[in-house]
Structure 1
Amino acid sequence: MSQTHPTAPVASQRIAELIRDRILSGQLPPGTRIVQDELAEELDSSRLPVREALRILQSTGLVTLRANHGAWVSSMTLRDCTLSYQMRERLEPLLLAESMPLLTADHFDRLRALQAEIEATDDVEEFLVLDRRLHWLTYQAQDTGQLTHTVARLWDTTQHYRRAFTHLTARERKWITNAEHHLLIQALEDTDSASAQNVLTTHIRRTRLELTHHPAVFA
């Protein structure tokens, strides 16, 4: 009887992370077909770990597997993205509230350093990386399992549209984003949970509402 090679799960996870990075970086935009044989050849891998990696990414919403048609980078309609942002508006303040009591002075120092880097850059890709780090630093003090997993999925599956939107609106929105970040960090330092959650909700809602004015992002 054949046995699964003990390194197969590790290889699958490694390949899944590589594909995920390519999707989140924009190298593989929504609607791109992922050809298993080509990917296996590129990575000098058998097809099995590639297939398992795609299944892992399907479970996170980043990849869509179509019977007899292969794998594709998942795409969203404006309605899909709107619903995802509405979920974020409700779930992220809850995640923030769970993490907030465990934030330390070191967290606040790192948040302010990240915000300084955000204000110093005009590069959209760098901003997206720093913005993600800033928000997830406010959440990471408390790993709430399913809640953290759900929020991470919402961030990942909307990444492409956040990137396209930011390219279109970065200059006009920069001062608003910076102001809201400062308000959020200050509320966290003041241990003002209600204000921190309100700022975060407004921050997410603003992007959702402005996305509706840019339907071309979803073309």
Structure 2
Amino acid sequence: MTPGPKTPPAREAASQRIANDLRAEILSGVRRPGERIRQEIIAEEFGASRLPVREALRILESDGLVTLIANTGAWVSTMDLAECTETYLIRERLDPLLLMLAVPNYSDADVDRLESMAAEVATTGSVEGFLELDRRFHLESYRAAGADSLYAMVERLWNTTQHYRRAYTHLIGWDGLRINHLEHTLMLDSFRKRDAEEAERLMHSHLRRTRLELARHPEIFEATIGAAEEHPATPQGPARG
């Protein structure tokens, strides 16, 4: 089979740059679930044609961050409570599995680095700081698994639930985060002992607690849906494929 034409390097670089900036805006909450992304405005902001913008949006769609609707447009992906619950149930299986595979491969230096990262999570002074550092800590804890396909799946699921983790964090406040920090401490103890089964169990409990707390607050999802722009089709459910 003859391969298709390759994307020119300059256009590929522009697409990746646009995707990186939009990804950062979505994950940080600057662009909220349900918000429309207008290609012409993005192209103007980046001084680019619409072609690299379209390619950037396709990258973000594969990341679970953007929903594209043919002949209609692009929106920051959103979820309802049922979809978020389903995603967390999947994460409760995949994240612990990935961690279980990683723990036996840790070096002492790996554990030292993770302990330092957890200390940063515990001492940050803002919700956004917590979200960024907590995400970095957990994703870094999975890298030693050496399971690239599983890691990519897990990272995508983290992307799709980011906004709702933000809402959850605001909801529980700093007092609630003390439990989060305690769980990190217990995980680090299992890392130091290379106890993969205990790490797996703790990660499952860590995620389950968030899922159950979100289920107690459906108003989080109602507010998201209410804030979305009106458009011909509701771009929900990035986790549904």
- Find the counterpart in structure 1 of residue 22 from structure 2: 19
| Distance in 1, Cα, partners of 2:87 & 2:129 | 23
Counterpart contact for 1:20–1:57, Cα < 8 Å? yes
| Distance in 2, Cα, partners of 1:79 & 1:164 | 16
> For 1:123, which of 108, 123, 126 is the aligned residue?
126
- AA in 1 matched with 2:62: S
Counterpart contact for 1:99–1:139, Cα < 8 Å? yes
| 1:4 positional shift | 5.2
| 1:10 positional shift | 2.0
Pairing 1:72-111 to 2, within 5 Å after superposition: 72-111=75-114
Q: In the alignment, is residue 181 of structure 1 matched against residue 184 of structure 2?
A: yes
| Distance in 1, Cα, partners of 2:193 & 2:129 | 29
- Find the counterpart in structure 2 of residue 194 from structure 1: 197
Counterpart contact for 2:101–2:196, Cα < 8 Å? no
- Find the counterpart in structure 1 of residue 207 from structure 2: 204
- Find the counterpart in structure 1 of residue 32 from structure 2: 29
Question: Which has the larger displacement, 198-207 or 63-72?
Answer: 63-72
Q: TM-score, normalised by structure 1?
A: 0.95
| Distance in 2, Cα, partners of 1:74 & 1:43 | 22
| Distance in 2, Cα, partners of 1:144 & 1:119 | 28
Q: Which has the higher contact order (CA 8 A, sep 6+)?
A: 2
* 1:44-75 deviation digits (Å, cap 9, x = unpaired): 01110001111111122211112222111010
- AA in 1 matched with 2:85: T
Question: Which has the larger displacement, 84-93 or 55-64?
Answer: 55-64
> Residues 39 and 123 from structure 1, CA distance in 2 versus in 1: closer, same or farther, beyond 3 angstroms?
same
Pairing 1:48-67 to 2, within 5 Å after superposition: 48-67=51-70
| Distance in 2, Cα, partners of 1:127 & 1:138 | 16
Gaps of 5+ in 1: none
Counterpart contact for 1:16–1:53, Cα < 8 Å? yes
Gaps of 5+ in 2: 223-241
| Distance in 1, Cα, partners of 2:173 & 2:206 | 14
* 1:73-111 deviation digits (Å, cap 9, x = unpaired): 010001111111111110011111221122111121122
Secondary structure of 1:29 counterpart: coil
Secondary structure of 2:23 counterpart: helix
Counterpart contact for 2:104–2:196, Cα < 8 Å? no
> For 1:39, which of 38, 42, 45 is the aligned residue?
42
| 1:3 positional shift | 8.5
Secondary structure of 1:23 counterpart: helix
Aligned residues: 218
Q: TM-score, normalised by structure 2?
A: 0.86
- AA in 2 matched with 1:93: P
| Distance in 1, Cα, partners of 2:146 & 2:60 | 21
- AA in 2 matched with 1:146: S
Provide the alpha-carbon RMSD of the alignment. Answer: 1.5
- Find the counterpart in structure 2 of residue 147 from structure 1: 150
Secondary structure of 1:57 counterpart: helix
